[in-house]
């Protein structure tokens, strides 16, 4: 997300303290193409995979007494997020961002272990001043046979004090392999921040090019912090990551929106898409079936509370036998 400097610095200080796409088919690719939001015909044999990316805003509560921007009912929301993922939905792979509060991270991992026994937990590294985690938690119902974590080399502002990065995982469902990259990138709306994002995108592109395998789909999900409304930055985003994304089929295609309970008036973005699922097919037989926004919420003391300041993005894929 991106804020005005004062608001951003307060939130970032606390953090520091502690695809989907329509596939691009080549002429030799014979995989069937299905329209978005359609089901696969019964006669077609294969494996379906569902994915969620969700920025949880579970920030450390160390500085909560000093600013409203960190008094976010993290404990209650963590419990609600657990209930949502465990009891109300059934995704195969979940990529969470901003799971920075270590006690809440442990609580989520333990509570979801039975449903998601395969996990890549947040990794810790010392930043310029503080030691903290990348806040990335990847959960899978199916075996993770390979994984890698990278930390970004370039960042600006208070992001420079944090340890953001990306997580790579190779997951096998049935007889099919899928590769995943989850990330949380540089925030702020400035040319310097965009330059840092481009460096981070290049770093992830190098990881993908090094780890991707022919015929195996690569799914990317996370809070990329690239505003969809900024045409130049958005085009550069897709160019550098070398992946495609399907436009959200939603009357309000925003993952960060002033209508959210936790999006304050002081924030720079009012209606924006910052979170994405992208896809690289790399000559395989995988197609994207659906992509949509989820907006989970709970009633609390007569008030509607969103589970996070971001909305999630979900996607379904199908790979034929």
Higher-pLDDT residue of 109 and 267 is 109
Query: What pLDDT does 268 receive?
Result: 75
Q: 3-state SS of the chain: helix, strand, coil percent to 5?
A: 25, 30, 40
CA distance 260 to 197: 25
Please, which residues have CB within 8 angstroms of residue 154's CB and are 6 or more apart in sequence? 186, 195, 196, 199, 200, 203
Nearest to 85 by CA among 61, 106, 113, 60: 113
Burial of residue 192 (CB within 10 Å: 0-12, 13-18, 19+) is: exposed
Question: What does pTM read for this prediction?
Answer: 0.86
Looking at the DSSP bridge assignments, the partners of residue 30 are: none
Query: What pLDDT does 48 receive?
Result: 95
Residue 213 tokens read as 């395998």
Burial of residue 304 (CB within 10 Å: 0-12, 13-18, 19+) is: exposed
pLDDT tens digits, 274-318: 999 999 987 778 989 889 999 999 999 999 999 999 999 999 999
Dihedral-angle region of residue 63 (phi above 0 means left; psi in -120 to 50 means alpha; beta otherwise)? alpha
Query: What pLDDT does 64 receive?
Result: 61
Tell me which residue range forms the domain holding 217.
Answer: 5-320
How many domains does the chain fold into?
Answer: 1
CB 292 within 8 A of CB 300: no
CB 157 within 8 A of CB 42: no
What's the mean pLDDT when you consider all of the chain?
Answer: 85
Least confident of 30-44, 91-105, 122-136: 30-44
Burial 128-145 (b: 16+ CB within 10 A, else e): eeeebbbbbbbbbbbebe
Angle formed by the axes of helices 191-211 and 231-241, nearest 10°: 20
Please, which residues have CB within 8 angstroms of residue 284's CB and are 6 or more apart in sequence? 31, 214, 215, 216, 217, 319
CB 298 within 8 A of CB 56: no
- Backbone phi, psi, residue 87, to 5°: -110, -25
CATH assignment at residue 221: 3.60.10.10
Decide if pLDDT at 29 tops 50.
Answer: no
CB 274 within 8 A of CB 225: yes
pLDDT tens digits, 205-221: 999 999 999 999 999 99
Q: How far is CA 255 from CA 64, 120, 167, 222, in A?
A: 25, 24, 21, 11
Please, which residues have CB within 8 angstroms of residue 75's CB and are 6 or more apart in sequence? 104
Query: Dihedral of the CA atoms 68, 135, 192, 198 (nearest 10)?
Result: -150
């Amino acid at each position: 997300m991106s804020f005005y400097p004062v608001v951003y610095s307060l939130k970032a200080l606390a953090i520091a303290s502690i695809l989907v796409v329509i596939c691009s088919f080549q002429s030799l690719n014979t995989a069937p193409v299905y329209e978005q939001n359609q089901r696969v015909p019964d006669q077609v044999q294969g494996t379906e995979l569902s994915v969620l990316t969700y920025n949880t805003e579970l920030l450390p509560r160390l500085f909560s007494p000093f600013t409203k921007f960190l008094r976010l009912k993290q404990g209650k929301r963590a419990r609600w997020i657990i209930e949502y993922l465990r009891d109300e939905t059934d995704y195969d792979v979940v990529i969470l961002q901003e799971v920075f509060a270590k006690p809440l991270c442990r609580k989520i991992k333990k509570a979801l272990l039975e449903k998601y026994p395969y996990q890549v937990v947040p990794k810790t590294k010392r930043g310029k001043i503080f030691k903290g985690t990348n806040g990335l938690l990847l959960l899978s119902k199916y075996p993770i046979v390979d994984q890698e974590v990278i930390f970004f080399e370039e960042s600006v502002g208070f992001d420079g004090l944090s340890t953001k990065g990306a997580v790579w995982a190779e997951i096998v469902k049935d007889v099919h392999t899928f590769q995943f990259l989850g990330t949380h990138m540089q925030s702020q709306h400035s040319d310097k921040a965009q330059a840092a994002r481009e460096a981070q995108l290049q770093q992830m592109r190098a990881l993908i090019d090094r780890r991707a395998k022919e015929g195996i789909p690569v799914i990317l999900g996370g809070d990329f912090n690239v505003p969809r409304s900024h045409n130049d930055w958005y085009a550069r985003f897709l160019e550098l990551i070398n992946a495609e994304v399907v436009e959200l089929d939603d009357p309000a295609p925003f993952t960060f929106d002033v209508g959210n309970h936790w999006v304050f008036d002081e924030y720079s973005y009012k209606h924006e898409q910052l979170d994405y699922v992208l896809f690289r097919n790399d000559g395989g037989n995988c197609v994207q079936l659906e992509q949509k926004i989820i907006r989970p919420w709970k009633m609390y003391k007569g008030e509607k509370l969103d589970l996070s300041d971001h909305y999630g993005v979900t996607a379904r894929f199908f790979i034929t036998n």
